[in-house]
Structure formats: structure tokens, C-alpha cells
Structure 1
Amino acid sequence: MPLLSSRGLSRYLCITASICSLLALSGCAEEEQPAHVPPRVAFVEPLQRMDNGPEALRFSGVVESVTSTQLAFQVPGRIERILVDEGERVEKGQPVAKLDDTDYELQRREAEARLRQLEADLVRKRALLAEGILAPAAVEPLQANVVAARVARDSARRDINHSTLEAPFDGVVARRLVEPDMVVATGTPILELQNNQHIEVTVDLPETAALSIPLNSSLQAEGELVIADLTLPLHYKEHSTQPREGSRTYNLTLQGEPPADYNLLPGMAMRVRLQRPPAPTDDKQPNFRLPLNAVQTAPNGSHYLWLAVDGQAKRRDLQLERIEDDHAVVSGELDDDMLVVVAGGSKLSEDQPIKAERRK
């Protein structure tokens, strides 16, 4: 490098200092100018106060028959006739099947003939007893035989009556289990009869619903048939006190009157609406209902949510009252129509700029 004069060296140092000053100023300018960060999009919904009136809870239900009974003869024999068809409506006391009663008729006639003979003998011996010809001991066995003969006659008449099978209640013939000319034993199922005076609807009741609805005669319910435009009132009948195996649901049985224009058959699906009475209110804090994913949990176990206020995220503490399916019931320093962030709340921070958008 060639040597510079003192004047040239001074000029060189001045130029170098100027360049360094310009570079330093440029760097400071870049550091002072912040990068533009767009606000985060936040989906919001207005916070709504819970209605203090009764609330309708909806569940799936299944139609069942109140009474389903297999009818059988009380005596054995050969089936002579089946008097009804499947699906036929029958009334209480109506004959539905008949056995061949020839053998029972012969037994009745034999029992009546023996009874007549013994009664005639008893009349003659009582006359001889009155004349003093016979002793009382000779008449007493005959009296006992007459009583036994009357029992045999009554038993034969009963067997004849039992050879005709009658419907024990008004209902519908669900199934025919035998055919004519079959020989059946006592108690062999002949027909399956279902009660058509009432229907039952069973519902699997979750724990939260079982906790808050009246499980007694004051329960208000309504059923809607899935496959038809049909609704009918239902009333409480009974409920289980043990949960179903493998689940946390309880069986609730409702009862109703079947409509005349529809055939409600066991197994049909219904939508069931149960009326939950209004929850007790206090003057301190109202309850609000909002999507469950809007509720955030702090490390200490407390709960909070994010509000959209003037384009910024604002944290608000709350009290989680209960969970209902995919919604939460909360209380706290909240007001109607606050805009609550319902998605992406875990990534927000206090005063963070956000762009509030309603879900479509």
C-alpha cells in the first residue's frame, strides 16, 4: 500500500468515518421500524344468558309393548283350531284357540253318571237309616264318595272349559307359535299376545339429565315418531337406579296411549322431549350457556374465556357450573351479547390484536 501524505490521510479518515456513520444510522432506522404483524382471526359468538324457564331435553327412544304374554293351555291335548291370525286385534275373553275336547267330554259324562248313581244310593240308605234298619256308620262312607264324585265332575267340567284358550286382555296377536293338529302339553306356548291399550317408550338417560329432571309423575314428556308426522304425550312410569353395564346411562320408561290411525309396533324409533324445570335462580350472578371449546383452563385449575373487545383479546375469569354435551353452563362477571372467542383461544394473549368474525 503506498504511503499517504498527512493531508491525504486526514481526508481518507474523514471519508471512512462518514461511511461508518451512514451505516450506523441505516441500522438504527431498520431497528426502530417494527415489522407489520396482521391481527389473528378469531371466530366469535355472542354470549347469551340462559333462559330461566323450563328447558326441553331431546333423546332417542324405542317403542315397546306394555305387556307381551305367551298364551298356553292349562290342559294337554290336540289342537283342533287356531281362531285368530297374526296381527289381529282381540278383546278380553275372546276365544283364540281350541283343543279337541272329546276325551274331556267323556270324562265329564262318566263323572256325572257316577255322581247320579252315588246320590241315588245315598237317598235309599238315608231312608233305611231313618227306619232304623241301617246304622249311621253304613251311610257315612257313601256320603264321602258322593263328595268325591262331585269334585270329579267339577274337575271334568273345568278341563272342558280349559280346552278353549281365551285372550286375557285386549291386544294384538303378535305371533302364532303352533299349528292345528299338533299335540301339546300343559303350558306349551300357543300364541304371543301384546297389549295394545298402552305403549311404552324407553330412553337411555345420561347422568346430567337424570340429575336435573323430576323422575316421578310430574315429569312432562312428548314423543315424536321418526318415520311419520306423529306426536303424542307421554308420562312417567318407572326408571332404573343402576346404570347400564358399560355406560353411564339410566333406563327411563315412559307410557302413552297409541293413536287410532297408526300401528305403533315394538322397535319403532321415537324422538323424546323431556321438560326440565327451571333451575333455581339467585340475585348474584346469572348463568350463561356457550360452546364447551370456548372455556379455557388455567394451570391452577381455574377457568376463563377470551372476549373480543375493540379488536383486542381480553381475558375474563368465570365459574364453570356444569357441562351439557358439547356446551358449558358458566357464571361470572359476564353480560349479555359479549363476543366470546369460540375457536383458537389457547393461542391468544392479553391485548393481542384480533379480527373478530362470526361463524357462518
Structure 2
Amino acid sequence: MLVLAMAFSSWLISFYIHHPMVEGSVYSDIVSFWHREPRLQAGLIPCLQYFFEYPPASCLITYVSRMLGGGGLVGYYVVFSLLSLPAYIGIALTLKRFAGLTASLFVIAPSMVLYGVYNFDHFLSVFLIASLLAYTRGRIGVSAFFLGLGFSVKLFTVLLLPILLAEVNEWRRRLHVLFHFIAGALPFWLPVLLLNPRWLPDFLSFHASWGLENSWIIWLSNNPFSPSSKFLGFLTAAILVFRAYGASASYESKAFLVLSGFLIGSPTFTPQMVLWLIPLIAANTRLWLWLPLLEAANAGIILTWFATDSPIMPWTPPQTMSLLRAAALIGMWMTVYRAAPIGLNHRQV
């Protein structure tokens, strides 16, 4: 009951602080989508009838929220929030089974409250922790299936697929893993790719053109759209991710190294992306020392963003928070990496 109460409380606070009718409410991407997109208000289908910059399952969640919400902003927001509640409960219950009662209380972490009913990252987070739990129970196919579901919400669970493939030592079983990943992703992706093939190149072009956002690299270039800075970020991410792939560590530790390594280098590191890491941090007590700095800095980004004239530039409060967050995440990455010597993974099955 405590776990359910914590999950519900975290969700309820997030629902309230982002509610569009609450005076002084905290910014939410979900509300922003409504205000910027008249085609969403009109009931058109995102990803199919107009471009939406998120993968197909996120498009579906957005469309269902609009259609069940009755055509108004409040109804749309309430339905999205209600769809989010099972994700909160799933994160808490799965964390309890995966890492114990104390870990499950991370569902009330500041990032879960501030960035839960905000975007789609809490859905990715529940699929990620479900995948990890399935792996620890020896159900690698189910683990891959949940990664596929996560890939349909946001792409980044695909970064864990090479780790999962490396966990099996037979090509037949690797094909089994790939099949289950595709089975989780294909029901969402296939209709969009068939009915609106233009969406995928538009999606790739949109994200390729995005500038630096909440990345420490802005402090080196002072130019959010510097191509060389973006290249440096992706190079850093690639180095850290491939070092993680080569680490002789547990699957859970590798998952943290890969995702956090990607975020450290990524030119775009929006604060809601920290939700990917919450289950992995909760399961590793060595990382808890860094958690106050990570969470305070991550919360500070949105809390100072709209009080700043140029929040994407260095020497502003949001980017100072981003720099502190990067320092905490680098500390976490090094903590796990130092305990994981480089070499072949000996946990193959």
C-alpha cells in the first residue's frame, strides 16, 4: 500500500502543478502541444495527418487524449494525466520487485513530479524498468519486447538492444531477441510508415536541425546552433556509449552507463530525460550520493527557464543548472564505470 500511495501522490502532485487551469502552473510540453497545434485541437491524427516530432506510440497517446478528452484543453490534459497514472504505478511496483521497497520510493523523486505529467518519458521509463525486471527473471524475449515498446514512445531504448544481444551466445537466440524487439515496436511503427511514409524523413530532418539544448557544450561554443559543437557532443556520447558496451559489468550497470553516457554527450538533454535514469539510479545505492545534486539541478532548469531572457545561453541560471547536472551525471558514470573493468562480458547465456 505504501508503494501505491507514493506513486499516486507523485502523480497527483504532477497533475496539479501542470494543470492548465491552475494559476501559476508549471510549464508542460503536453499543454504546449495543444496551444501550438490547431490540428491537434481539430482532432486530426498526429504522425498521420500532420507532422508530430515524437515516435508513433507518443502520437497515439496524444490522439487518444484529444479524442477522449472531449475537444477541450482541460479534458485533453486530464485524459493524458489518467493515461500517465498506470505508468507511475508500474514504475513503483516494478522497482519494488526489481530493487526493493526503498528503491520504489524513487517514484516521488523531484524529477518524477516535475517532469511526469509533462512529456512521454515516464512511459519510456516504465517500459525500461519492466525490461530490466524481465531480464533478471531470465525472460530475455520479454525484456526485448518491452524495449521495443519503449522504442515506440521514444527511440532511446534501442541503445540497450546491443547489450541484450550480447547477453546471448547463439545466433538463433539473438534472432529471437530481435524478433521480440520488433514485435514490441512494429504495431505502432508500421501504420505510420505505410500510411504516411513522409513522416520518417521529416522526423529525422527535424531532430537533425535541432540546436544545443541544456548541454554543457554550450559553455564551449556560446552558439546553440554550432555544427562543430553538435559534432563534439555526439562524439562524446559515442565514446562513452561504446566504452559502456565493452565493460564487463552486469546488464543493469551497462544499461546505466549507456543511457547516462549518451545523455552526457548528447547536444539535446531535456530535463525530462532524467526519468530514464531514475529506475537505474534507484537500483544502485552507490549512486545515491550524487542524487541530491542531480535532482536539484534538474529541477532548477524548468524552475528558472521562464524567468530568464535567453535560457539557452551560458551564464544563465538554466544552463548553470545544466552544467551542475552534467557534473553529477559524470560523477555517477565514473562511479559505475570504475567498478566495471573493460573486457568480455562473462554473463552470456
Report the TM-score when normalising by structure 1: 0.17
Report the TM-score when normalising by structure 2: 0.17
Structure ranking higher in strand proportion: 1
Query: Looking at both structures, which has the greater relative contact order when contacts are Cα pairs under 8 Å and sequence separation is at least 6?
Result: 1
Structure ranking higher in helix proportion: 2
